[in-house]
C-alpha cells in the first residue's frame, strides 16, 4: 500500500520554517542556516511524493538552499548580493502565516444559515463539475466585531484539513508597506503550493482604505495584485481548492472594485436568543449548568447586544466568580512549590445565576443600536 506522506512532511516544513524565522530574527545564523537546509530537504522529499507539482517544490527547495547560502554569508560577514526584500522573504513570511486550527463547525454556536452558505461554497469548489459552473473564489464576511468571523474561517479550514493562512491586513501593510503587492503574490504562491488552502484576510477594509488622505500608489498596486490573484486563482491549476475569506467590521469602507470581486457577502450577525444559549453552553462546557436558566441568560445577552466574544467573556467572569467563592485563599497557594501544588486540585461547583450578576454589570457591548441599523442598511443594499 502506498502511504501519502505529503501531509506530515508539510506540517514538518511549516514547523521548520517557523524555527528558521525565529533563529533568523534573533541573529542565530548557525541555526537559521541549518533550518533553511532542512526546509530544502523537506521540500525535496515533498517533490518526490507529488509528481504533479514536482517542479514547483524543487524550485522552492533550491530557493531555500539560496537562503541558506545567504545566511551563511551574512554570518561570516560577507556582503550578501541581493540586499533588500527578496522574493524568498515574501514566501517565507507568507508561510509563517500558516496557522493550525482545531476549530470545527460544532464549536460555533448559532449562525446556522451562515455555516450552511459557507459549507455550500466549499463543497461546490471541491466537487468535480461542468466547466460552466464557476465556484465562488472569495466570500466576504461582515458584521460587528466578535461575532465569529475568524471562527467561521478557521472551522472551514479545520473541517477540510486545509492549510489556513491567517492574515491580518493591517499588520502586513505596516510590515511591508510599499512592497505589500509582492507580499500578496507571495501569499497566493504559498497558498497554491499548500492547497487546499483557505486564505483568511482579517481587517480587510485596511487594504481598501486610503492611507494618509488619498489612495497611494502602493495601495493601488496592492489592490490590483490582489484582484488579479483572486481572478486567476481557480484557473491556474484546476482541481486546487483555494478560497479567500475576507472579513470586515466596516463593509462601507470597502473599495467598490474590491467589493465587486466578492459577490458573496455574508452578514455575520449578533447572536439571537437561541444562539446565545448555544454559545453559553460552548463556553461553560465541562461545568454543571443544570441550575441555570439558560433561556433567561440568553435573553439578557440579546438585550445587552452581546457578541459571541462578549458571551465568552461573560462565561469566563462567571467561572472566576465561582472559583473565587470556592477557593477563598487561592492566592496563598502561590507560596507552595510547584510539586506540592500539583498534588492539590481546584475546588469547583456548578454555576448559578449569582455568578453571572457581576459579569453582566462588567461587560458592556461596544455595539449600539444605530451601528446595527447601519449593518442592516448595508446588508439590504449590498448583501447576499
Binding site for ligand ADP (CB under 6 A): 108-111, 145-151, 247, 279, 282, 308-309, 312
* Least spacing, CB of residue 292 vs ligand ADP, in Å: 17
* Least spacing, CB of residue 364 vs ligand ADP, in Å: 16
* Least spacing, CB of residue 203 vs ligand ADP, in Å: 9
Residue by residue, DSSP assigns 11-30 as HHHHHHHHHHHHHHHTT-HH
Residues 6+ apart with CB under 8 A from 207: 169, 173, 201, 219, 222, 223, 226, 258
109 vs 138 by CB, closer to ligand ADP: 109
How distant, in Å, are the alpha carbons of 34, 51, 84 from that of 186?
Answer: 23, 23, 16
185 vs 248 by CB, closer to ligand ADP: 248
Grid cell listed for 329: 485563599
226 vs 279 by CB, closer to ligand ADP: 279
12 vs 282 by CB, closer to ligand ADP: 282
Residues 6+ apart with CB under 8 A from 37: 64, 65, 68
181 vs 312 by CB, closer to ligand ADP: 312
* Least spacing, CB of residue 247 vs ligand ADP, in Å: 6
Helix (H, G, I), strand (E, B) or coil at 209: coil
8 A C-beta contact, residue 162 and residue 241: yes
Place of cell 506522506: 5
151 vs 301 by CB, closer to ligand ADP: 151
* Least spacing, CB of residue 118 vs ligand ADP, in Å: 13
Instruction: Point out the residue whose Cβ comes nearest to ligand ADP.
Output: 308
* Least spacing, CB of residue 84 vs ligand ADP, in Å: 34
8 A C-beta contact, residue 321 and residue 367: no
Beta strands in the chain (DSSP E): 98-99, 138-142, 163-168, 197-202, 242-248, 264-267
Distance CA 207, CA 219 (A): 7
* Least spacing, CB of residue 126 vs ligand ADP, in Å: 23
219 vs 269 by CB, closer to ligand ADP: 269
Distance CA 200, CA 165 (A): 6
Amino acid at each position: 500500500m502506498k502511504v501519502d506522506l505529503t501531509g506530515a512532511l508539510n506540517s514538518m516544513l511549516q514547523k521548520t520554517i517557523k524555527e528558521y524565522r525565529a533563529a533568523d530574527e534573533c541573529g542565530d545564523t548557525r541555526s537559521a542556516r541549518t533550518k533553511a537546509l532542512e526546509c530544502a530537504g523537506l521540500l525535496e522529499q515533498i517533490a518526490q511524493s507529488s509528481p504533479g507539482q514536482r517542479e514547483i517544490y524543487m524550485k522552492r527547495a533550491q530557493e531555500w538552499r539560496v537562503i541558506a547560502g545567504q545566511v551563511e554569508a551574512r554570518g561570516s560577514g560577507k556582503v550578501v548580493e541581493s540586499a533588500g526584500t527578496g522574493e524568498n522573504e515574501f514566501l517565507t513570511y507568507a508561510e509563517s502565516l500558516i496557522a493550525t486550527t482545531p476549530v470545527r463547525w460544532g464549536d460555533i454556536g448559532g449562525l446556522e444559515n451562515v455555516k450552511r452558505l459557507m459549507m455550500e461554497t466549499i463543497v461546490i469548489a471541491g466537487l468535480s463539475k461542468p466547466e460552466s459552473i464557476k465556484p465562488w473564489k472569495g466570500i466576504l464576511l461582515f458584521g460587528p466585531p466578535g461575532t465569529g468571523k475568524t471562527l467561521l474561517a478557521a472551522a472551514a479550514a479545520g473541517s477540510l484539513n486545509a492549510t489556513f493562512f491567517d492574515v491580518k491586513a493591517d499588520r502586513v501593510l505596516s510590515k511591508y508597506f510599499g512592497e505589500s503587492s509582492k507580499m500578496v503574490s507571495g501569499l497566493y504562491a504559498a497558498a497554491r503550493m499548500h492547497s487546499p488552502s483557505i486564505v483568511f484576510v482579517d481587517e480587510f477594509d485596511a487594504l481598501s482604505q486610503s492611507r494618509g488622505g488619498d489612495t497611494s500608489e502602493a495601495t493601488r498596486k496592492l489592490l490590483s495584485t490582489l484582484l488579479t490573484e483572486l481572478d486567476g486563482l481557480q484557473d491556474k491549476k484546476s482541481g486546487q481548492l483555494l478560497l479567500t475569506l475576507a472579513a470586515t467590521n466596516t463593509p462601507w469602507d470597502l473599495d467598490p472594485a474590491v467589493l465587486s470581486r466578492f459577490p458573496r457577502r455574508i452578514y455575520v450577525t449578533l447572536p439571537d436568543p437561541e444562539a446565545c444559549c448555544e454559545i453559553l453552553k460552548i463556553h461553560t462546557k465541562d461545568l454543571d449548568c443544570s441550575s441555570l436558566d439558560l433561556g433567561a441568560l440568553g435573553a439578557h445577552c440579546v438585550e445587552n447586544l452581546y457578541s459571541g466574544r462578549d458571551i465568552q467573556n461573560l462565561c469566563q467572569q462567571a467561572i472566576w466568580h465561582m472559583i473565587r467563592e470556592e477557593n477563598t485563599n487561592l492566592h496563598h497557594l502561590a507560596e507552595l512549590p510547584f510539586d506540592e501544588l500539583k498534588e492539590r486540585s481546584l475546588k469547583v461547583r456548578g454555576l448559578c445565576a449569582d455568578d453571572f450578576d457581576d459579569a453582566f454589570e462588567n461587560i458592556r457591548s461596544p455595539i449600539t443600536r444605530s451601528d446595527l441599523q447601519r449593518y442592516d442598511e448595508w446588508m439590504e443594499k449590498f448583501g447576499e
